[in-house]
Structure 1
Amino acid sequence: MKQIKFTVAIPTYNGEKRLPKVLDKLREQINTEHFDWEILVVDNNSKDNTAKVVQDYQKNWSQSYNLRYCFEAEQGLAFARQKAIEAAKGELIGFIDDDVFPAPDWVSMAYKFAQEYPKAGAYGGQIHGDFEVEPPENFGRIKSFLAIKERGSKAHLYNPENLSLPPGAGLVVRKKAWLENVPQRLVRTTRGGNDFEISLHLHRGGWEIWYNPDMHLDHKIPSWRLERDYLLSLSRTVGLCICELRLINIKSWQKPIVMTKIVMGSLRRAILHIYKYRQNLQTDLVAACELEFFLSSMLSPFELIKKQFMKSIAVNKTS
């Protein structure tokens, strides 16, 4: 019986049009002959023909590695990723979104890195933007909001204390590390902060979080994801989850201090930003997104308090 070493997990929702290209890219993987691996599509309650797309591929699948399918009814990326962990046969799980396309050696480089860095509980590589239209000027300052990461040619540790972490698109985790440290139900269930929360739990468990420059992915960015309303909304989402993420590995007595620092630090950054770009905030989209992030980060402690208050009301109503 084969011992699967690596699982490529693809969480998808209504991905019938996006999945084929991802699966085709995975069929082109090279240098994987020395270990056994598999592909696992996690259908997160899709309403389209996602299941049929996978079934059609399975009928004509001649590769030595398996293509598997599973279904997760509970909506949310966190639930799809948890389902992948439970269903994966591999010791390593590499998450690929249905709009990112791996280089031909992505799987082999991901597997190799795990052998060279046994203390790495999670790691991500380089994610390059494949833009349908030209991004706005100075877009590099906010490209990380769209999970675009290009951190140079040398492997290095991320800094979880400063929320310097790899995005979920292309994140590789050790199944053992996840099962021992990541809660079955995470606080962040959607794309906003879910990937960082995973790495923070692994870090708290003593695992290292790494950047591997030899893993390359292309992230398809359609034109609508560069429109002003979308980018401002995305910047707001990223900012509002800052406090919740920072408190994950903080002791109870430290929380008021950290929350105060977030408010005051973000307020200072917002004021300086307004002073610097005061003439251009209406015309400079990148500057406007940065301001939205600073303001939302400042409000994130209050957003968390509101969230906890609403949760306590809901619990009281059901008890």
Structure 2
Amino acid sequence: MLVSVCVATCQRPEGLRRLLNGLNLLSFRKIVAPNLEVVVVDNDATGSAKAVCTSQAEHFQWSLKYCIEETRGISYARNKAIASVNPKTDFVVTIDDDEVSTEFWLDELLFLQQMHNADIVTGPVLPHFVMPNVPQWVVKGKFFEPQRYPTGHTIHMASTNNVLIRFEILQKLDPIFDERFAFSGGEDVYLFMRLHREGYKLIWADEALVYEWIPESRTRMGWVLERGFLGWGRHSFCEKELYPSLVLQTIRILKGLGLIVRGLCFMLPSLFLGKHTFIRALLNIYQGLGTLAGLLGIRYEVYRAIQSI
């Protein structure tokens, strides 16, 4: 069995180094270790990630492939990564350059795939805070804690930050990641909504853990609210395109309005229940506004600016 781990990166040398160090420590206990290649696509035309990959290759236990995608944008980088894998690969796995895998991460993904004959397997991305003193409102509000399910649970959505996909599925798509989302993000939401609509089987692997490095700049109220607005907006936009049903769009509008009303109702009592409750109320409002913005086709190209970790 051949597995290709794909990584898109852009001017994050320290994050990429951490990620590759983690991948180099992968072990297998539930399945026989597969043949493994790691494909790194540098979305910086100057090739700023090459030095990191060159230094890692000297002691890397897996095959390491480096290439450049000069056209800026996450969709282009991800498509380049898929196009660069060994054509005989069985599975493509993606992980982000601000994350670090745990020792048996890939073992868990592949084991669940075999157990359930799944087309797609995904797992949780847990926060790793860079600074020692995390604000209490962040901890109490659990704003970085992902929604989790029992292992083996069938789901309808995944993300490219921790996912395994049958390569033969991706070979049927052109393009795989829609280039309209190159700077707005949401290319993975659109992809997995398409695959779920087409009947592919998505399974949750709760023990397939990766950790996302959270810098201090992300533990601010503005960043949390922006993420809520953008995330719900992307979902709403993609759902409108893939499920152009007046009934579904009406339900989505009602959900958006419901979130806004809920947030407004909790604003006053939240002033007496702590900062995390106040920000949760604001977040509901931002999520509702994002939902309505997505239905109106409004998207923001937040990834034009490079975000270092």
TM-score range, shorter-chain basis? 0.7 to 0.9
1:1-319 map, 5 Å:
5-31=2-28, 34-45=33-44, 47=46, 49-58=48-57, 60-61=58-59, 63=61, 65-89=62-86, 90-118=89-117, 120-132=118-130, 133-135=133-135, 136-140=138-142, 142-143=143-144, 148-149=145-146, 151-158=148-155, 160=156, 165-181=157-173, 183-186=175-178, 187-190=180-183, 192-250=185-243, 252=244, 254=245, 256-280=246-270, 283=275, 284-304=278-298
How far 1:47 moved relative to its partner?
Answer: 4.9
* Counterpart-to-counterpart distance in 2, 1:30 and 1:265: 43
Does the 8 Å CA contact 1:43/1:72 hold for their aligned counterparts? yes
CA offsets 1:34-88 (integer angstroms, 9 cap, x no match)? 4211111111126573111112222x1352x211111111222222111111111
Q: Percent identity?
A: 18
* Counterpart-to-counterpart distance in 2, 1:185 and 1:25: 26
* Counterpart-to-counterpart distance in 1, 2:202 and 2:250: 27
Q: Which runs of 5+ in 2 are unaligned?
A: 301-309
* Counterpart-to-counterpart distance in 2, 1:302 and 1:268: 17
Which amino acid in 2 is paired with 1:156?
H
> Which deviates the most, 121-130 or 261-270?
261-270
Q: CA RMSD in A?
A: 2.5
- The verdict on how the C-alpha distance between 1:170 and 1:92 changes in structure 2, with shifts beyond 3 A counting, is same
| Alignment TM-score, normalising by the size of structure 2 | 0.83
Which amino acid in 2 is paired with 1:212?
A
- The verdict on how the C-alpha distance between 1:35 and 1:288 changes in structure 2, with shifts beyond 3 A counting, is same
CA offsets 1:163-198 (integer angstroms, 9 cap, x no match)? xx2232112111111222463451433463222212
- The verdict on how the C-alpha distance between 1:150 and 1:175 changes in structure 2, with shifts beyond 3 A counting, is same
* Counterpart-to-counterpart distance in 1, 2:255 and 2:146: 25
How far 1:150 moved relative to its partner?
Answer: 5.1
- The verdict on how the C-alpha distance between 1:208 and 1:236 changes in structure 2, with shifts beyond 3 A counting, is same
Which amino acid in 2 is paired with 1:110?
L
* Counterpart-to-counterpart distance in 1, 2:124 and 2:242: 26
How far 1:272 moved relative to its partner?
Answer: 2.6
Equivalent residue pairs, number: 287
SS in 1 for 2:13: coil
| Alignment TM-score, normalising by the size of structure 1 | 0.81
* Counterpart-to-counterpart distance in 1, 2:20 and 2:296: 43
- The verdict on how the C-alpha distance between 1:137 and 1:26 changes in structure 2, with shifts beyond 3 A counting, is closer
Does the 8 Å CA contact 2:176/2:191 hold for their aligned counterparts? no
How far 1:5 moved relative to its partner?
Answer: 1.4
> Which deviates the most, 26-35 or 232-241?
26-35
How far 1:276 moved relative to its partner?
Answer: 2.2
* Counterpart-to-counterpart distance in 2, 1:72 and 1:29: 27
